[in-house]
Amino acid sequence: MTKTLDESAVQSADNVWTMAQSQLDEVARLIGLNDSVHKYIRYPKRILEVSVPVRMDNGDFNMFTGFRVQHNMSRGPGKGGIRFHPAVTLDEVKALAMWMTWKCALVNIPFGGAKGGVICDPKSMSMQELENLTRRFTTEISIIIGPEKDIPAPDVYTTPQIMAWIMDTFSMQHGYSIPGVVTGKPISIGGSLGRDKATARGCLYVIDEAMEALGIPVEGARVAIQGFGNAGLHAATLMRDRGYTIVAVSDSRGGVINRTGLDVDAVIKHKEATGSVSSYSGGDAISNKDVLECDCDVLIPAALEKVLTIDNAPKIKARIVAEAANGPTLPEADEILHDRGIMVLPDILANAGGVTVSYFEWVQDLQANFWEEDEINQRLKRIMTRAFRETYQQAQSYRVNMRKGAYAVAVGRVAEATILRGLYP
């Protein structure tokens, strides 16, 4: 039996699909969304579940389950990553596909939202087994992907090499190279300059805008970063170069704090040498929990989901929280932070630099004309700056937090495209 909107809204927030639908429901009420359009965009357009037989190194076949979900394609072909993880679920992939719809609409690039995943443990698999898995999964979903249909990208535990295998498999099926089928590829086969730093650079651009809106000087502003992977590491270097002071960083093993400022280059060298920032001698040891609660102007959760909760939200000292990670703030914590006057730059805004430069990569592949990195960065800055200002304007207009302001912009754009295109047949 189909659940009503109200029934779905009160289900456990642990179900990310229920949470994603509830977020839409709340914004639909806020902007007065037409009921028919609301129903239409509340559900995925297409769900593909596939069995993926893979020959393992010992000669045996193992069976894996994979998904590709296309949420809404009213504004263009689907766009979204593929993750390889043992905890992948269909509900998770559906939620991530919906969030990609809003993210693409917010930065106003002509994509809809999609997402994919395979239930597997890539850490226990050899490179050959990963290649076999990738190529077979690509073959199974090839009926719905393509540069004009749906363009995958890297996500959790998927890499440029895996994107190269997807591109090659799809191309071999068609008899010629089709680099535009996937983004996040190596440069040598159609990848884009600037993609590795795109998420962090986009985050920096919206933080700069937030600092200006709140009247906080950039020079000397203190930054704490939870997560020192690709996004966190590049955010540290880019923000240091911009004039911010990086006072704390952490990874899965722990962190380090220096209230007068960390030597970012030395921290990076230490992580490369030891695998972690936790034992760096140029500061005091600190836990991941304490990084979130340390005294700073800007906090960047760049690693895990659900780290800002009802328990620690009252203890956050930052004036700006920039969500470089996906879903680091629980809804209850969001309200607490807003009530305390802390500006949360939501994930669909703060980490949208990655999908924006993925869009640039797709455009370059289709044109077979590649841009210099300076041009890419300038285009990215214009898009991210505009997205922040539109979000801020909506948040001010409706007297809501920045997340709801961002959703108001994004859902409004998707709804407009849906209405204009109509229902076929």
Digit-by-digit pLDDT tens for the chain (425 residues) are 334 333 333 334 458 899 899 999 999 999 999 999 999 999 999 999 999 999 999 999 999 999 999 999 999 999 999 999 999 999 999 999 999 999 999 999 999 999 999 999 999 999 999 999 999 999 999 999 999 999 999 998 999 999 999 999 999 999 999 999 999 999 999 999 999 999 999 999 999 999 999 999 999 899 999 999 989 999 999 999 999 999 999 998 999 999 999 999 999 999 999 999 999 999 999 999 999 999 999 999 998 888 999 999 999 999 999 999 988 999 899 999 999 999 999 999 999 999 999 999 999 999 999 999 999 999 999 999 999 999 999 999 999 999 999 999 999 999 999 999 999 99
* 8 A C-beta contact, residue 158 and residue 117: no
Is residue 395 within 8 A of residue 210, CB to CB? The reply is: no
Q: Which is nearest to 149 in space by CA: 186, 112, 109, 116? A: 112
44-177 and 198-350 in the same fold: yes
Q: Name the burial class of residue 265, with classes exposed (0-12), middle (13-18) and buried (19+) by CB atoms within 10 angstroms of its CB.
A: exposed
* Nearest in space to 379 (alpha carbons), one of 402, 407, 360: 360
Q: Which of 94, 103, 115, 185 is catalytic?
A: 115
Nearest to 264 by CA among 288, 238, 298: 238
What distances in angstroms separate CA 345 from CA 76, 103, 113, 335, one per listed residue?
26, 13, 20, 13
On whether the CB atoms of residues 230 and 305 are closer than 8 A, the answer is no
Closest CA to 325 of 363, 373, 291, 361: 291
Query: Any idea which residue has 């500061």 for tokens?
Result: 283
Q: How far is CA 342 from the centre of its chain?
A: 22
Q: Indicate the CATH number for domain 198-350.
A: 3.40.50.720
Residue 39 CB contacts under 8 Å (≥ 6 apart), including other chains: none
Q: Which CATH superfamily is domain 44-177 in?
A: Leucine Dehydrogenase, chain A, domain 1 (3.40.50.10860)
* In the chain, domain spans: 44-177, 198-350
Burial of 83 (0-12, 13-18, 19+ CB in 10 A): buried
Q: Would residue 104 be called left, alpha or beta, if left means φ above 0 and alpha means ψ between -120 and 50 degrees? A: alpha
pTM of the model: 0.93
Annotated catalytic, 197?
A: no
- Cα dihedral 36/42/44/49 (nearest 10): -130
Q: Residue 368: is it exposed, middle or buried by C-beta count within 10 angstroms (0-12/13-18/19+)?
A: exposed
